[in-house]
Structure 1
């Protein structure tokens, strides 16, 4: 918890923002931000999204070590930090470049029965592209259901109600690329 809090504080200070200014820009309370920065609490995915929006950075920047090269990023997937989701899954940011880009790729893992509702986490990406890397999952989109299997892909307007659900008995991996 302490490491992510220290990174939030460092990124805030690099932009010359007070806790109150970042809290207002992010839509969270200054008290909650203070607790995050001091390591007293752990941020949810929704909170990381709000803070990233307030700072104008990708969520993955919270996982970047100080001094890492910001012009190019090479990594091993197994070395990437991940964020646990509340409903049987986790996501792995696939970039950590601090400069805002037009997209943010991530790997989403869903255990059997697991789900990922981007709306639940406060994600405001207008467009999403998903490629099924492994397994299968159901996309519940705007009142309809679509079953996707390995190597299938889909592009959708994420401002409409949607949810990903692993309805199989095997783990699923989705490569998700969201617009920012």
Structure 2
């Protein structure tokens, strides 16, 4: 569910999104490529990376797997 632009972004969502972006860029993947690998929409990946979308656990697991890691490793990378 997208976070209202009138609300401040949750620091955990921002940290998670930043970790996903950092890992994606390190693997030289576009948002589109990551989205295709994780079977989600590209715009969804963008919202997650910006911290404006509270991603479901299964979606985060798909993104982590597409990045070659476990969900636990992704959460750890985000410092959560």
Does the TM-score normalized on the shorter chain lie above 0.5?
Answer: yes
- Larger strand proportion, structure 1 or 2? 1
How many residues end up aligned between the 2 structures?
Answer: 68
Greater RCO (CA < 8 Å, at least 6 residues apart): 2
Q: Could you say which residue in structure 2 is the equivalent of 1:54?
A: 66
**Matched residues in 2 for 1:37 and 1:61: separation?**
17
Two-structure CA RMSD over aligned residues (Å): 1.8
Normalised by the size of structure 1, how large is the TM-score? Answer: 0.35
Gaps of at least 5 residues in structure 1 are 67-79, 82-180
Structure 2 length-normalised TM: 0.76
C-alpha displacement of 1:62? 1.8
Selected match of 1:39 from 33, 51, 63:
51
Task: Give ranges in structure 2 of 5+ residues lacking alignment.
Answer: 1-12
1:5 matches 2:17:
yes
Given the superposition, is the C-alpha separation of residues 34 and 64 from structure 1 closer, same or farther in structure 2, using an over 3 Å criterion?
A: same
**What is the CA deviation profile of residues 104-124 of structure 1, one whole-angstrom value per residue up to 9, with x for unaligned ones?**
xxxxxxxxxxxxxxxxxxxxx
